[in-house]
Chain A
Amino acid sequence: MSQQTRQQQPSQEPIDLQVDTSRPEPGTPEPGSELAASDRARRMITRLLRVAYPHETFPDGPYQRTAAAVQEAAGSNQADDRALARGLEGLDRAAGGDFLALDDGAAEALLRDRADEYFFRRIRSTAVVALYDDAEVWNLLGYEGASFDKGGYLHRGFDDLDWLPAARVDEYDGGRRVELVEDREAAR
C-alpha cells in the first residue's frame, strides 16, 4: 500500500462505490485543463454516453444530465480532471480532429479500443449510476418507482401476469424433500 493512502478516508459517496482505486499515474503537476469543464467537453461526453449506452427511446436530457455528473465527478479531483481532458483529447485526435463528427460505429470502435483506459472506466463508474438513477429514464424503461404513497402494488398489478397459469404458493405436500443422497438411496 502506498504512502498516499495513509491518511484519513472520509466515508464514501455511493457514486464512488465502483470507482477503481488504482488512480492514474501521478505524473508531473500541470495546470488543471480547461477542456474537461468546457461546453465542448459536455457535448463530447454526451455523445460518448449515447454511443456507450445506446437506448433508442431516450431523448438527450438523461445523457446531458449524466454528462454533467461525469464532469462534476472529475472536477472534484485534479487527477481525474486531467485524465478526462486527456481522454477526450485522445478521442478527438484518433477521430482525425473531431470525435463529434464520427458515426456511431466509428465512435464505438474508438471506445472499444479504450475500454480499459482509466478515463473511460471512471466515466462508466459515474455514468452507470447517474444515467439509471433518473426518473425520466425509469419511466421510459417501464419502472414505476416509489409506490408506498400509492398503497404499494397490492391493488396496482403485483399479480397481473396473465400469460402463465397461476402457481401454487403453499409448500409441496406430496412427500418429504430429499436432503441427503443417502436419504434417496434409503427411500428406493
Chain B
Amino acid sequence: MSAVDESRARTHGSPIEHTEPVVVIIGSGAGGGTLAYELTAQGVPCVVLEAGPYLTGEDYVNDEWEAFNQMAWLDMRTTSGGWRVARDFPNLPAWIVKAVGGSTTHWSGATPRFMAHEFRARTTYGEVEGASLLDWPITLEELAPYYDRAERAMGSTHRHGRPALPANNNYTVFANGAERIGYRHYATGPYATNATPYDGRPASIQDGFNFQGDKNGSKWSTLVREIPRALATGRLDLRPNCQAVRISCAESGSVDAVEYLDARGDLHKQAARAVCVAGNSIESPRLLLMSASAQHPDGLANSSGQVGRNYMRHLTASAYAKFERPVRMHRGETMAGIIADEARHDTSRGFAGGFYMETLALGPAFLASFLEPGAWGREFTSWLDAYAHLAGMWIVGEDMPRPGNRITLNHDVLDQHGLPVPNVHFDDHPNDIAMRGYACSVADQLYGAVDALAVHHTPPYPSTHNLGTCRMSADPQDGVVDRWGRAHDVPNLYVSDGSQMTTGGAANPTLTIVALAIRQAEHLCEQMARGEL
C-alpha cells in the first residue's frame, strides 16, 4: 500500500462500490458509530455517510466558541412555538455536532440507565392531558444485557469494576449541599470517562473541555472507539463530508439506495441492502420527510403520520450559585457529578416522572450567552464578576411527548444545498413547567445549605438531548418503528439513533442509544443470516 492508501484506510476504510448493495448507515454518532462497529466486527460490510468532516483530538481546540464553530451543526434551521429558545436562539434549536463521531465528541459523559417504570410511561403515569405518552414495546429486562455491554464499551465509571472519578471543586460544593438537604444518591458518576487507563485510552487530566471534544481521548466517543475499530476490520467505507439527502424505494416497497451530496455538492447514489438512519432527532425525520415518493406521499415510513412528531428535549434548566469563597468550576470534568434522589416518579411533588441533577460548568464566553439570553446591566454583569466563585448544575428530567412538538420541512427557507430546512416546533407541557419549578427550588435549597449568596436559574438553552421523532411503538399507528427500530412500513429501513425513543425518561440518553444500537446490530445480523435482509 502506498502512504496515501494507508492514510486513506485509516480515516476512510476500504472502498465499497456504489453499485454494491450494502448496509448504509447515515450518521456516525452514538447510534450510527456503534452500529457500524458492531456490524463490521461481525463481518458485515457497511458504508457510513457522515455529513461532517473527520476531525480528531489534534484538531480540537480548548476554546468554547472556536470549538463550537468548528464542529456544531450550523446549517440553517428555524423554530416556532412557545419555548424560549425560539426567541433567544431562533436559528439554533439544538446543539448537535456535525463531524465524524457526531455529538459524542462534544458530549460530557453522564450515563445513567432508564428505570424499569420509564419503559412503561403510559401505564405508570396514566393519561396525561395534552401528552402522547406510550409504553415502549420493550422492557428494562430485555435491554439490561445490552446496557451491560454499552457500559463496558463506554467505560462508565462505577460500573463493572471501573473506579470513580475524583471530586472536582464544583462537585465538592454540589455533593456537600446534597448531603445537607438529605440526599443520599449522589456520586461522581456513572460517567463514561476514564478515571484510570482503560481500553487503550488514558485517564482524565481534568482539563475542563469536555464540551469542546476531549483532546486527551479519556472520554468515550464513537470517534475514539467504534469508528477506528470499524475501519480496522477492513469492512467499513466511511465517507465524511457526505450528506444523505434522499432514500429511494424499489417497487417492492423496500428501500434500495441512498442519494447523497459530497463535499463539492455533487450528487451520488449508494445502493443499499438495508438503510439505518442515525442523523439525530432533527435530521433523521427531515431525511424521511424529504424522501417522500408516490409510494410514500407523506414521507418515507410515515403512513402513521408520526414521523417528526413527539419531539422531546428533556426538561432542562441550570442553576448557578454564587459563594463568598472561590470554587473555580471550570477546572476538571464538566459533568462528573450526579444526584439521583429526585429521579423517582412521585406525584406528590406535583408532576409525573423525575429528574437528575448533574454538575455543569461553562466558561465565561458560554456563560454570558446562556445565563440569561438578552440580559444586560449590573445584575447580569455581577454574575460574571463572580465567575471564579460560581458553582453550577444542570437539571435533566423527563419531558412529555406531544404530537404538536415536531420537526417539519420549512419550504420557505432553503439551506446551502437548496433543500428545505427543518423547523422545530416546541411548546412546554404543564408537567414540564411544574417539574422545572420544583427542580429549581430544590437547587436553591441545595446551594442554600452550603451558604450560597444567590442562585440564578438559567432557562433551557439549545437542546443537547433530541429525542422521539421516529418513535418505537407496538402498534404501527402510534409510531414509526417497531421494537427493533425497524420501520413499520418498510422492511429494510431502520432508525438507529435517539429518535426511536418512545419516551425520554429522566436519564441522559446516550447510554440507551448505544445499548439499542448494539441490540439492533445483533438483530440485523440474525435477519441477514436467515436471508431476510
Contacts and interface: CB of A to CB of B under 8 A. Distances in A.
A53 B413 CA distance: 35
Contact of B387 (A20, A133, A142): A142
Interface stretch (A24-32, A70-78, A176-184): A176-184
Interface in B184-212: 184-188, 204-209
A164 B89 CA distance: 38
Interface in A1-22: 1, 5-14, 16-21
B88 interface: yes
B62 A146 contact: yes
A54 B378 contact: yes
Contacts of B174: 167
A179 B344 contact: yes
B385 A55 contact: yes
B234 interface: no
A19 B91 CA distance: 8
Given A132-B384, A154-B206, A169-B188, A18 B89 contact: yes
Interface stretch (B251-259, B267-275, B363-371, B434-442): B363-371
B208 A1 contact: no
Contact of A169 (B187, B205, B418): B187
Contact of B332 (A18, A133, A142, A159): A159
A9 B450 CA distance: 49
A14 to B, nearest CB: 5
Interface centre among B74, B75, B367 (most CB of A within 10 A): B74
B187 A177 contact: no
Contacts of B373: 18
A159 B348 contact: no
B377 interface: yes
Interface string B88-102: 111110000000000
A96 interface: no
A170 interface: yes
A6 B414 contact: yes
A108 B377 CA distance: 8
Contacts of A143: 330, 363-364, 387-388
The residue among B72, B175, B208, B416 with the most chain A CB atoms within 10 A of its own CB is B208
Contacts of B378: 54
Interface string A146-165: 11110111101111110111
B206 A141 contact: no
A161 B172 contact: yes
B490 to A, nearest CB: 31
Nearest to A162: B325
Interface of B: 61-65, 68-69, 72, 74-76, 88-92, 115-117, 124, 158, 164-169, 171-176, 179, 184-188, 204-209, 215-216, 325-328, 330-332, 340-341, 343-348, 363-365, 367-369, 373-374, 376-378, 380-381, 384-385, 387-388, 410, 412-416, 418, 421, 450
Interface of A: 1, 5-14, 16-21, 52-57, 108, 111, 115, 121, 124, 128-129, 131-133, 137-138, 141-149, 151-154, 156-161, 163-172, 174-175, 177-181, 183-184
The 3 nearest A-B residue pairs measured at CB: A142-B388, A152-B205, A167-B175
